[in-house]
């Protein structure tokens, strides 16, 4: 079986291109991971997701342990078999969801006791249980269990959460079962504080992981503070391991983070937007529910190869969205995921050719033009 590893193909400034090798195949970086929280990318069939160019999906420990249950999924062959996705899967540890989705929770050194948002039942999630659940799911990439402090938050509280997360990172490492093709990522915390980010990075490196994620961002701090946090974080992370910015994001966020040395991304934005009538294009976003589209025979993007753009007009997509037809959500989601994968493909090519700065400039200029007739 293929060993888990990361090969760095080249750099352009701080931007990097490479490949993560996993038990279920390679992931070319920079990469965007569509979110399949509950064993499905909403409004998409697995083969449709793969057709967009996606090489890896994200699943979630919290949601899957509550429903249908990690042990049940394991008995049914693991998450790949369960959802008919034979490419790599990364699973979030559940830490963020425990903090954000549950109204009654008790945090201590051992872990978090919380009440399910589904039926009110009580559960306990510890570093050991999180790693166990991800093992049962057969995740190619497992994430450490951590505490993600909110923003804004006093620095003393961020420091407390960061130190706890590092202790949990060691316990996650100890609980992880090493096997060929499977990797464990540590999660750097520290909010927007440079000294805490450095402290967290060094602690994770001392423990030793197969990849390093930057957590605790995209939680309301804004793009400028997020980029500043990356500027003081990525220089401390190993250059021979993949770097993953969790929960990001908008196309502008992705391009800016790649310029700061990030390799992997995930976000619900393209799929959520597809269900609410928003389409992403090189010239910005389009609200297809706007009345000006009802007689528009043009595609969303004449240069896009997705089924929505190749086979349907803006007028038809407008009609589907206004009529709340399921097909509208399916087509817009497919388009958005296709756009995101095309963006990543363009980024990888630009880095490989040594012209990422030109790519950034063209990306920004195109978005400034906007789609005046469409938005």
State pLDDT tens for residues 208-234.
Answer: 999 999 999 999 999 999 999 999 999
Contact 245, 213 (CB under 8 A): yes
Which structural domains are found in the chain, ordered by start? 5-267 (3.20.20.105), 273-369 (no CATH)
Terminal Cα distance for the chain, rounded? 49
Instruction: Report whether pLDDT(375) > 60.
Output: no
- Could you report the per-residue pLDDT of 45-73, keeping only the tens digit for each? 999 999 999 999 999 999 999 999 999 99
Which residue among the candidates 12, 92, 140, 253 is catalytic per the annotation? 92
Which residue among the candidates 138, 266, 296, 342 is catalytic per the annotation? 266
Burial 164-190 (b: 16+ CB within 10 A, else e): bbbebbbbbbebbeeeebbbbbbbbbb
CA distance 203 to 79: 31
Local confidence band at 372 (pLDDT 50, 70, 90 cut-offs) = low
Left, alpha or beta for 268 (phi > 0: left; psi -120 to 50: alpha)? alpha
Instruction: Report whether pLDDT(295) > 60.
Output: yes
Average the pLDDT over 237-261 and give the result: 97
Average the pLDDT over 7-25 and give the result: 98
Q: What pLDDT sits at residue 216? A: 94
| 266 among known catalytic residues | yes
CA distance 238 to 182: 19
Local confidence band at 150 (pLDDT 50, 70, 90 cut-offs) = confident
Q: What pLDDT sits at residue 1? A: 72
Q: What pLDDT sits at residue 38? A: 96
Q: What pLDDT sits at residue 98? A: 74
Instruction: Report whether pLDDT(374) > 50.
Output: no
CA distance 306 to 303: 9
Instruction: Report whether pLDDT(183) > 60.
Output: yes
Is the model's pTM score more than 0.95? yes
Q: What pLDDT sits at residue 368? A: 85
| Of 156, 85, 98, 105, nearest in space to 127 by CA | 98
Instruction: Report whether pLDDT(86) > 90.
Output: yes
Strands 122-125 and 112-115 turn out to be: antiparallel
Average the pLDDT over 360-368 and give the result: 95
| 92 among known catalytic residues | yes
- Could you report the per-residue pLDDT of 90-134, keeping only the tens digit for each? 999 988 887 776 666 889 999 999 888 899 899 999 999 999 999
Contact 133, 64 (CB under 8 A): yes
Instruction: Report whether pLDDT(256) > 70.
Output: yes
């Amino acid at each position: 079986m293929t060993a888990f590893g990361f090969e760095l193909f080249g750099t352009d400034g701080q931007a990097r291109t490479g490949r993560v090798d996993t038990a279920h195949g390679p992931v070319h970086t920079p990469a965007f991971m569509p979110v399949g929280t509950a064993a499905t990318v909403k409004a998409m069939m697995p083969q449709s997701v793969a057709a967009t160019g996606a090489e890896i999906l994200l699943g979630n420990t919290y949601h899957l342990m509550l429903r249908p249950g990690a042990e049940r999924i394991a008995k049914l062959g693991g998450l790949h078999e369960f959802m008919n996705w034979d490419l790599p899967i990364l699973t979030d540890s559940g830490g963020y969801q425990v903090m954000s989705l549950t109204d009654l929770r008790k945090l201590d050194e051992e872990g978090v006791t919380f009440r399910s948002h589904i039926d009110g039942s009580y559960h306990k999630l510890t570093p050991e249980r999180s790693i166990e659940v991800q093992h049962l799911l057969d995740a190619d990439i497992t994430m450490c269990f951590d505490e993600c402090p909110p923003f804004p938050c006093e620095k003393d509280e961020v420091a407390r959460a960061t130190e706890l997360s590092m202790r949990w990172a060691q316990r996650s490492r100890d609980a992880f079962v090493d096997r060929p093709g499977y990797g464990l990522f540590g999660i750097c915390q520290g909010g927007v504080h440079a000294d805490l980010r450095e402290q967290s990075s060094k602690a994770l490196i001392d423990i030793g992981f197969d990849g390093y994620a930057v957590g605790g961002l995209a939680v309301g701090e804004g793009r400028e503070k997020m980029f500043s946090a990356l500027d003081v974080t990525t220089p401390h992370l190993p250059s021979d391991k993949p770097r993953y910015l969790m929960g990001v994001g908008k196309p502008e966020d992705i391009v800016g983070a790649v310029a700061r040395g990030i390799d992997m991304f995930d976000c619900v934005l393209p799929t959520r937007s597809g269900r609410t009538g928003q389409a992403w294009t090189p010239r910005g976003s389009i609200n297809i529910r706007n009345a000006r589209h009802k007689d528009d025979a043009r595609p969303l993007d004449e240069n896009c190869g997705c089924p929505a753009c190749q086979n349907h007009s803006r007028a038809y997509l407008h009609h589907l969205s206004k009529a709340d037809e399921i097909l509208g959500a399916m087509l817009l989601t497919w388009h958005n995921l296709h756009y995101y994968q095309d963006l990543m493909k363009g980024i990888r090519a630009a880095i490989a050719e040594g012209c990422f700065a030109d790519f950034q400039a063209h990306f920004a200029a195109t978005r400034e033009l906007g789609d005046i007739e469409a938005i």
